[in-house]
Every structure is written in C-alpha cells, then in structure tokens.
C-alpha cells in the first residue's frame, strides 16, 4: 500500500512546532491525537535533501511493513518538500531512560533488542542510534519499539546524522552493517548494566573495570571495543554475561 502524503501550510507547521510534547535532537514531536504523533524535522539541523532521503526510507519501511517501530501513517509536506511524518503513539510505551527495570528485566530487554536488530538487518535496515531515549518499552506487554527509524540506513539510502560513537566505529572498522549493530548494542549493554552514560562507558572500557562482568569471550569483545584489534567480529556482550 502506498504511503499517503498530507500537504500542510506554513501556519500549520509553525503550530506543530510551537506545541511540541517532546523534543529530539533533530525534531519536534507533536501529539496529534490520543494515539498518533507528528514528527517535524528541525530546519536548522536537517537539510531539504536529507528530508527527501528520509522520506524515501520511510516509504520503503512502510512497504516492508517493518515491525518493532511505530506504524507510519502518512508523510507531511510543505511546498513539495517532505517535512516530517505521522506515526502511531501508545501511551503505555515508555522510554528505556525512565523504565524502572531491575537487572534481569534489563537483560531480557537487551536480548530482545539483539533479535530485533538481526531482523532489521535482514530487512535491509541498519539502525545506528541505540540509546536510552530512542528505545521504548511497553509496560503492559513488554514489547520493544525503536523510535527514530528515519535516521537508519535502508538498503543503499544513507543514514542522515551519524551519532558520535557510531561514526567512530565506522571510521575505525569501515563497517556499516550488522557489526555496527553489535558495537552499538554492546555499548548500550554497558551503559544499561552499570548505569553510566556512553562517554563514561567508553572511558571505563579502557580501564579494564568491566572485565569481571563477562566470560572470556566477552573479554575479547571488550578488547575489540577498546581498539586493540584490527578487526571487529560483531559478537554480542549480552551472550557472555557472567
């Protein structure tokens, strides 16, 4: 089914921007109804050609009926440029950032995320921005939803803005495939299990203080994350917890 496009006026766009319920780095999120939201990209961050690239990616993900992401309802355009899109919203979904999970709850989520990332890769989608506020957990069902899918690489359509550590990984290993999923999920695993931010986790890998948390194979992964090996083999720390 083709993705519907809704043309809006500059006044409507200004209204959505002024009445946001959430703010991302790249966008304003406007609550449109009890079960839909509109994401409008910030003009000062996203160029028109990036917006059109995002639109093409959204169309592909919509056609593939990609799961584990919000359902895309329609794109929005102003003067023939795509400026954002409408998607499903479920108020039982809460960002991992504030989800009250204990260690075993976190481990469960991390394992599910690994499966979902494999599924995305099989569907031609590489998701670079694995972090607390982009991942939602439904407190009724436990289902995981990845937000911010418009910044993925879809087939040969590039991601738009590379998060810092994904960019570092790409510079170092030149891989923008499932290995990137593994690196970013491993970094996320460290931040989740030790309640730290990405910057701090990166520093601590260097000090060796995570060693005791993992089996021998996990230690090899930590070494690769520390940049002491020429290759990155794309395994998951979550499989080697002690």
Nearer to ligand ADP, 98 or 228 (CB): 98
Find out whether 72 and 64 touch, Cβ atoms under 8 Å.
no
Does the footprint of Mg ion cover residue 53 (CB under 5 A)? no
Pattern 73-92, binding to Mg ion, x per CB under 5 A?
--------------------
Q: Which residue from 16, 89, 120, 169 is in contact with ligand ADP, where contact means CB under 6 A?
A: 89
Tokens representing 16 are: 């959505």
Residue 148 in contact with ligand ADP, rule: CB under 6 A: yes
Q: Candidates 10-18, 19-27, 52-60, 166-174 — which segment interacts with ligand ADP by CB under 6 A? A: 19-27
Which C-beta is closer to ligand ADP: that of 26 or that of 236? 26
Stretch that binds ligand ADP, among 89-97, 100-108, 211-219, 228-236 (CB under 6 A): 89-97
Q: Choose which of 50, 53, 75, 134 interacts with Mg ion (CB under 5 A).
A: 134
Q: Which stretch binds ligand ADP (CB under 6 A): 75-83, 131-139, 202-210, 224-232?
A: 131-139
If one asks whether residue 160 binds Mg ion (CB under 5 A), the answer comes out as no
Stretch that binds ligand ADP, among 6-14, 56-64, 132-140, 166-174 (CB under 6 A): 132-140
d(CA 127, CA 180): 8
CA angle 60, 62, 64 (to 5 degrees): 70
Residues 189-228 that bind ligand ADP (CB under 6 A): none
* Interacting residues toward Mg ion by CB under 5 A: 24, 134, 148
* Interacting residues toward ligand ADP by CB under 6 A: 22, 24-27, 29, 37, 39, 70, 87, 89, 93, 95, 133-134, 136, 147-148
């Amino acid at each position: 089914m083709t993705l519907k496009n809704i043309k809006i006026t500059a006044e409507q766009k200004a209204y959505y921007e002024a009445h946001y319920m959430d703010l991302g780095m790249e966008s304003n999120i406007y609550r449109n109804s009890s079960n839909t939201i509109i994401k409008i990209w910030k003009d000062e961050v996203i160029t028109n050609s990036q917006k059109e690239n995002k639109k093409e990616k959204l169309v592909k993900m919509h056609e593939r009926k990609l799961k584990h992401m919000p359902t895309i309802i329609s794109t929005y355009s102003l003067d023939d440029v795509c400026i954002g899109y409408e998607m499903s919203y479920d108020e039982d979904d809460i960002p991992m950032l504030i989800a009250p999970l204990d260690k075993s709850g976190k481990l469960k989520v991390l394992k599910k995320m690994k499966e979902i990332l494999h599924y995305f890769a099989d569907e031609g989608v590489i998701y670079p921005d694995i972090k607390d506020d982009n991942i939602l957990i439904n407190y009724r069902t436990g289902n995981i939803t990845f937000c911010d899918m418009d910044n993925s690489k879809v087939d040969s359509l590039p991601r738009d803005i590379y998060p810092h550590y994904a960019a570092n990984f790409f510079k170092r290993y030149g891989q923008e495939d499932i290995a990137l999923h593994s690196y970013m999920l491993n970094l996320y695993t460290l931040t989740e299990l030790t309640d730290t931010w990405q910057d701090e986790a990166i520093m601590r890998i260097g000090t060796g203080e995570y060693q005791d948390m993992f089996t021998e194979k996990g230690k090899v992964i930590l070494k690769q994350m520390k940049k002491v090996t020429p290759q990155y083999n794309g395994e998951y720390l979550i499989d080697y917890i002690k």
